[in-house]
Structure 1
Amino acid sequence: MLGKKDFKPVMLADRAFFERHYALYPQTHSDNTFTSMVCWNHFMHYQYAYVKGNVILSCTAAGVTRLHPPIGPHDPTLMREVVRLAMEIGDDNKPLTLIDPETAQWMKKTNPDLMLVPDLNHFEYVYRALDLAELPGKKYLKIRSQVNKFRKNYRHTVEPITPENREEITEFLIKWCESKKCEENFTLAHEIEAVSYAIEHLTELHLRGLLIRVGSQVCAISLFECLNTDMAVIHFEKGLPEYQGIYKAINSETAALLVNEVEYINRESDLGISGLRKAKLRYHPHHMVEVYSLNRRTCFPVIK
């Protein structure tokens, strides 16, 4: 019987294991990526179990535990065990989360009593890389104008993030935190710790990144990786607010680099933050990565 004893912490040393498994079962949602897990481990406390060729993820944040559905070949008995365990140890109304549409359809087919609800705050925005790189047509006119204005107003250079400029990026993150008053914002305080971990372990995580300098000062960064064969994911993107249009500029430069490698760029979710949602919608997503959650009020399932 599946239990908490079967789970162990996700650690940096597990990267090769997850790479092998995700090569067999490619992911589309950034929360399942190894990079997201280890960078946010200080807050989300990720664990995993490997059972019957499936990876089962668990995360505990602020005392609330949630499980993810098994990643691997469909096994009705294992799914029943995961749902049972999620019901036992999950501390809120969504004990099982990040259920992709195909898995949700299978779960509902095997047990119609399950109540699976769309988790809109964790839908991820996916764009055509070519659209973000070229900003074509009238719908991108305002963004294109802001990018051009940035390029006109600021003498800048773009370069890859490497271990050699790591110290400068650390200094940049300190300035960014001061501008955002991270010490007064619970979410930003944890995010900056996640970004710092990513920078420190750039090579081990196989992450790539770009930075923009205005003069000699680093004023924006982006960190990204390939999520699958046709999609990249932008894990982090930061810019100093005193440079007007800086976020539009780093977005455009990152897309220009990736456009020859992938068809799509995943820019993650908006977490239900209205301002972030509006900003992401302005870029006209091609589609969303939809996910569902199991509602605790569902009838206890007997998955056949």
Structure 2
Amino acid sequence: MLSQEDFRPVTLADRAFFERHYARYPQSHSDNTFTNMVCWNHIAQYRYAYVNGSVILASTLFGVTRFRPPIGPRDPDLMRDVIRFAMEFADDTPMVLIDPETARWMKELDPSLTLVPDRNHSEYVYLASDLAELPGKHYLKIRNQINKFRKNCSHTIEPVTGENREEVMQFLVKWCEWKGCENDLVLAHEKDAVFYAIEHFTELPLRGLMIRVDSQVAAISLFERLNEDTALVHFEKGLPDCEGIYKAVNQATAALLVHEVKYINRESDLGVAGLREAKLRYHPHHMVDVWSLKSKEDASASNRTSLQVSEL
């Protein structure tokens, strides 16, 4: 039976293991990626167990531990064991980031389970060609902002490398000063995550590009291949000196990736109204929807919502 002793911390040394496993079981949600786990380890404390050919992920955020469904071959006994263990160990939401297919399977294994949609962590996936070309009237305002940026800001685009990493770090310091990271807990943790990504850039499966304005780094984008047809943008940062720079770095990233992948995953909105509006403005092709498992004590409040799982 699964126990706490089966779990070990996710570290940089585990990269090869996760790359091998995810080559067999490709991921579609950013939270399960190795890059995400090591970059956010300082706050989320990711751990994993490897049982019967499956990876079980857990994270502890602000003292609350939650689990993910097993990543590997379909194993009903293991799934039941993970559910049992999560129910005993975690809070009112013991398992998160459950894809719709797995949610259906879990309900087949145990119809009494209460599964609810988690819109705040559903991820936005766009056609790479849409982000690169910004076609049609839906993107007119964005095209105008990019044209204004190009007209008013003398700029160049280049890849992020080990050689210009120090300049990127200096840029991030300026970005944090502008955003007031030290006075915002969420931004402070994001600062630590993106700094870790740059500090370990050559040790992670990351690529990146930067926009220089008047020779100074003014925006960056960090991304990687998520699966066969999708790239994932982990971080995108810009300074306010040139209007439209965020739109410009978004398009520049897509223009690079459109020759490699069909889709670009730009992660979730975390329920932030302004961020949701901004992501919807780019007209996603589809969402990576996820569900959460509720504890039996909390299930009565979610029964009506949980019925939706049968409609997936």
TM over 0.5: yes
**Aligned mates of 1:42, 1:89 — CA distance in 2:** 21
Most deviating of 76-85 and 131-140 = 76-85
**Aligned mates of 1:105, 1:159 — CA distance in 2:** 45
String of CA shifts for 1:127-164, please: whole Å, max 9, x gaps: 00000000000000000110111011101000000011
Match in the other structure for 2:98:
99
Match in the other structure for 1:197:
196
Shift of 1:76: 1.0
Specify the code of the residue in structure 2 equivalent to 1:116: L
Specify the code of the residue in structure 2 equivalent to 1:55: V
Structure 2 residue 39 is the aligned partner of structure 1 residue 66: no
**Aligned mates of 1:173, 1:18 — CA distance in 2:** 28
**Aligned mates of 1:255, 1:147 — CA distance in 2:** 14
Specify the code of the residue in structure 2 equivalent to 1:165: N
Match in the other structure for 2:266:
267
- Listed as ranges, the gaps of 5+ residues in structure 1 are 300-304
Shift of 1:88: 1.4
Match in the other structure for 2:80:
80
Specify the code of the residue in structure 2 equivalent to 1:136: P
- The secondary structure found in structure 2 opposite 1:164 is coil
Q: Normalised by the size of structure 2, how large is the TM-score?
A: 0.94
Matches within 5 A, 1:111-190: 111-190=110-189
String of CA shifts for 1:223-250, please: whole Å, max 9, x gaps: 0000001000000000002221010000
- The secondary structure found in structure 1 opposite 2:73 is coil
- The secondary structure found in structure 2 opposite 1:50 is strand
Percent of aligned pairs sharing the same letter: 70
**Aligned mates of 1:42, 1:118 — CA distance in 2:** 27
- The secondary structure found in structure 2 opposite 1:141 is helix
Shift of 1:81: 1.0
Structure 2 residue 293 is the aligned partner of structure 1 residue 294: yes
8 Å CA contact 1:113, 1:298 repeated in 2: no
Shift of 1:272: 0.4
Specify the code of the residue in structure 2 equivalent to 1:27: Q
Shift of 1:298: 4.0
- The secondary structure found in structure 2 opposite 1:203 is helix
**Aligned mates of 2:195, 2:204 — CA distance in 1:** 13
Structure 2 residue 49 is the aligned partner of structure 1 residue 45: no
**Aligned mates of 1:182, 1:199 — CA distance in 2:** 17
8 Å CA contact 1:126, 1:286 repeated in 2: yes
Match in the other structure for 1:224:
223
- Listed as ranges, the gaps of 5+ residues in structure 2 are 301-312
Match in the other structure for 2:55:
55
Match in the other structure for 2:240:
241
String of CA shifts for 1:22-73, please: whole Å, max 9, x gaps: 0000000000000000000000000000000000000001000000000001
**Aligned mates of 2:33, 2:267 — CA distance in 1:** 12
**Aligned mates of 2:93, 2:257 — CA distance in 1:** 35
**Aligned mates of 2:279, 2:205 — CA distance in 1:** 26
Specify the code of the residue in structure 2 equivalent to 1:215: D
Specify the code of the residue in structure 2 equivalent to 1:86: A
**Aligned mates of 1:184, 1:127 — CA distance in 2:** 33
Match in the other structure for 1:302:
none
String of CA shifts for 1:88-126, please: whole Å, max 9, x gaps: 1113x2110010111111111121111110011000000
**Aligned mates of 1:146, 1:205 — CA distance in 2:** 33
**Aligned mates of 1:233, 1:240 — CA distance in 2:** 22
Match in the other structure for 1:31:
31
**Aligned mates of 1:109, 1:146 — CA distance in 2:** 50
Match in the other structure for 1:16:
16
Shift of 1:269: 0.2
**Aligned mates of 1:203, 1:218 — CA distance in 2:** 19
